[in-house]
Structures are given as C-alpha cells and as structure tokens.
Amino acid sequence: MADGSDTTLTAQQTVADQTPDGLVAGIKSFAAGHGGAKAVIEYVGKRGARIVLVGSDGAWGDQFADDTVVAREACAKAGVTVENAWERELMDQMRPSNDLWRSMARRTMAR
C-alpha cells in the first residue's frame, strides 16, 4: 500500500458547486412568467427539499432540490424571496386551478 495519495477527498463542498443551473433557470422562468414569485421551502426527508413557488398572479408550482441549503441558494440566485413559513397572506394569494380541485376531490372520495 502506498504511503500517500495525490488526491484528497473533502467532506465540504461549496453550495455554488451543488446548485444545479437547471433548478435556478426553472425558478427564474416561473417568476418571469407570473410577474414575480415568492417561495416556501419544505424539507421532505431523504428526497431533499420541495420549493413551492407562488406567483404574483396566484399561480403556483414546485421544484425539488437535494436539500434545503441548495434550495435556498437556488432561490437567492434566481432572485426569489423565501418565506419562513406559510403565512396567511401568501396562502390567500394562491389560486388553485379547477383541475387541481377535481384531483383533490377524487383523492378524498377514494378513501
């Protein structure tokens, strides 16, 4: 076995290296298409973090990131404000589509 190695593994990586450009582009695209946006980041366990975007026009969508740190960095790069929690004003701004209401009703009725 060799005494040393010419490569070094590091446990810490910078967030800039971890933030996918596609994630930032998706958030920017949503915000541009809906007159701006705000985000709420939800931890979803091993899957990572869900970024729920709420547009100024009431439309909403989501993106997934590897973890909450990456999600916050992606929102910052995209210029989207991250809310700390689901505030009443933000929820009142959301306008779910009729298709979403129908799909939620089917899930409730199927139980």
Instruction: Write down the pLDDT at residue 76.
Output: 96
**Count of other CB atoms within 10 angstroms of residue 28:** 16
Paired tokens of 17: 């290296």
Residue 7 reports pLDDT greater than 60: no
Contact 75, 39 (CB under 8 A): yes
Q: Report d(CA 34, CA 99) in Å as an integer.
A: 19
Average pLDDT over residues 8-13: 45
How high is the pLDDT of residue 107? 60
| Residue-wise pLDDT tens digits, 47-86 | 899 999 999 888 888 899 999 999 999 999 999 999 987 7
**Residue range 11-40: mean pLDDT, rounded:** 80
